[in-house]
Amino acid sequence: MRRKDKEVAEPEIVQYILEQAPAIRIAMCDEHMPYIVAMNFGWEPGRIYLHSAMEGRKISILERNSRVAFQTDLNTEIIAGESPCNWGAKYLSLIGSGRACFIETPEEKKHALDLIMSKYSGAGDFAYPSSTLDKTCVIRIDIAEMTGKKSG
C-alpha cells in the first residue's frame, strides 16, 4: 500500500468492517471483460460466503474462472473543501482477492447461510428446508490477500 498512514492492519478493525459493511462487491473476469456484482455476505476468518441462484452470469463466469477480487466499505462521507482540490472523503474499506468454490454439502451450505443470516439478523442457528438448500447456490471465497484502508 502506497499510503501506509491509511493502512488498516488491526484485526479488530478489519473484523468491524466485515461485520458492519452492508454489502460486498465481487469482481470477476468474463473472458477479457470485468464483471462486478454487489452481494450480501457472511464471513469467518479467511473466508467470505455468498448465496445465489443456481444459474446466471456470475455462476457461469465462476465455473470458468474461480479467481475473484472483492471490495467493501462503510462510514463513507464526502468532506467539502475550500477549493476543488481540497475535497476529500472519510471511509473504512477493504479490498482483496481469492478463489471462489461452490459448496455442495447440506452441512456446509447451512454453516455458510447461518453466517450470512447472523450478520444481517443478529440471530444464531437457523433451519433451512432441504428443498431450499438444494436450489440455493452457496459460494465460498478463500481469501488469498486482503488490505484495509481508512481515511478521516
18, three cell numbers: 466485515
> In the prediction, which pLDDT does 136 show?
95
pLDDT at residue 19 above 70?
A: yes
pLDDT at residue 55 above 90?
A: yes
What is the residue-averaged pLDDT of the chain?
92
63 band by pLDDT with thresholds 50, 70 and 90: very high
> In the prediction, which pLDDT does 71 show?
97
pLDDT tens digit string along 83-139? 988 898 888 999 999 999 999 999 999 999 999 999 999 887 789 999 999 999 999
pLDDT tens digit string along 20-35? 999 999 999 998 899 9
CA–CA distances in Å: residue 150 to residues 50, 117, 129: 25, 27, 41
Write the DSSP string, 74-95.
Answer: EEEEEE--SSGGG-EEEEEEEE
Half-sphere exposure of 120 (CA within 13 A, CB side): 13
Lowest mean pLDDT among 7-11, 71-75, 97-101: 7-11
> In the prediction, which pLDDT does 124 show?
74
> What mean pLDDT is predicted for residues 54-62?
96
Write the DSSP string, 102-143.
Answer: EE-SHHHHHHHHHHHHHHHH--------HHHHHT-EEEEEEE
- Asked whether the beta carbons of 110 and 100 are under 8 A apart, the reply is no
pLDDT at residue 1 above 80?
A: no
> In the prediction, which pLDDT does 8 show?
82
pLDDT at residue 69 above 80?
A: yes
